[in-house]
Amino acid sequence: MAGTTQSTAAAAAATATPTGTRKRIFSGIQPSGHLTLGNYLGAMRRWVEEDQHRADALFCVVDMHALTVEHDPARVRRLTRQTATLLLAAGLDPRRCAVFVQSHVAEHARLSYLMECTASDGEMRRMIQYKEKVAREEARGRSVRLSLLTYPALMAADILAYGTDEVPVGDDQAQHMELTRDLAVRFNQRYGPVFTVPRAVHPQVAARVMDLRDPTSKMGKSNDDTGGIVYLLDEADVIRKKVMRAVTDSGGTGEVGYDREAQPGVANLLDVLAACTGGRPQVLAEEYTSYGALKKDTAEAVVEMLRPLRERHAELCADPAYVDEVLRAGAERARGLARPRVDAAYAAVGLMPPV
Ligand code: AMP
Ligand code: TRP
């Protein structure tokens, strides 16, 4: 019995809100491609403008997630650094939050295994992203890695290791977040209160930025056709060209209206313009009578929004030692936060503590 009491006490200590009443926020981004406007509007911008100021926040380049599909090791390594550099260029301030690389903190993989022991095979197979990615891998004649199926267990571990209260992500992560909550609740019911049950927070506008060429699918960094994807490091002229060529009307009304069903391409441009300028898409729709003018203004708004980010990125690239130091310190802090809770989880499930 003494053992049970002790592990429950350790678990309770690990669950306590870390810095008084400040919320703990965690989010992650994969280095599986160049970052897009979708990443920025759906997630990063909010991390920069709100989350790092109001909470105890950690932002992680989830490199292990990038190994769930066929990958080139050198490219993942390069993109990991680039992603971290872009997070800093976008305005994450290492004095306010931790920025680090997932594989530098062993607790993620340690806890992921316990999450695999908590989740069921069926609930993993129900994940929409899994089904979509299986279809994509099979279409390319590639085998499906087991880690693609267990991916949400690693994501849950990322989040739960830190006693996270809130996870700011784009809409596409809603299902993974529900699963993470289920796993936290189930684990706590089975073994005692080790984990905080986190909630997802999504942006009000542009929670799902759509591909400019195919506005029924999300702008994703690993889509094959890159013509509809605005990358954060695209040159201004490239951005203009992509936005001007955006698909706007399949119904053929020629009018600018905000209707995601009937005019997904136009609605997407209005969402992007609204997100860049702080307006409301429904109101903006009334200001335009032609697609051309809407596209032109949207292009300029995106170019202006991304300009400082590109400039800062160039500066940071010239100082890789600074980025290294940020990542080193971030990982150290993350390790210190995650280890007690993951140790408590190991003890709670019945694994003998190291002697
Ligand atoms: P990922 O690129 O899948 O690693 O996603 C990193 C973050 O960006 C997550 O919070 C995603 O929800 C968000 N995100 C990715 N693509 C989009 C998009 N097209 N629209 C809005 N948010 C997105
Ligand atoms: N699955 C997320 C995505 O594809 C990335 C991710 C991994 C993540 N672990 C996370 C996001 C933890 C938030 C919190 O976008």
Domain-wise residue ranges, the chain:
3-207+320-348
- The least confident of 14-23, 70-79, 176-185 is 14-23
Whether residue 131 lies in the annotated active site: no
Domain 3-207+320-348 fold is Rossmann fold (3.40.50)
pTM for the whole structure: 0.92
Percent of the chain, pLDDT > 90? Answer: 86
Q: Which of 36, 172, 230 to mutate to test the pocket of ligand 1 (most atoms within 8 A of CB)?
A: 172
Residue nearest to atom 22 of ligand 1 (CA): 42
Whether the CB-CB separation of 199 and 176 falls below 8 Å is answered with: no
Residue 247 pLDDT exceeds 60 = yes
As given in the structure block, the two tokens for residue 312 are 């800062």
Residue 336 is predicted with a pLDDT of: 98
Residue 236 is predicted with a pLDDT of: 97
Residue 252 pLDDT level (bands cut at 50, 70, 90): low
User: Cα-Cα-Cα-Cα dihedral of 232, 35, 324, 319, to 10°?
Assistant: -20
Whether the CB-CB separation of 44 and 206 falls below 8 Å is answered with: no
Strands 24-29 and 97-101: unpaired
State the average pLDDT for the chain.
92
Residue 20 is predicted with a pLDDT of: 60
- Ligand 2 atom with the smallest distance to the CA of 129 is 4
Residue 3 pLDDT exceeds 90 = no
Structure confidence by residue, pLDDT tens digits, 254-282: 788 999 999 999 999 999 999 999 999 99
Residue 224 pLDDT exceeds 90 = no
Shortest-distance ligand to the CA of residue 219: 1
Residue 250 is predicted with a pLDDT of: 62
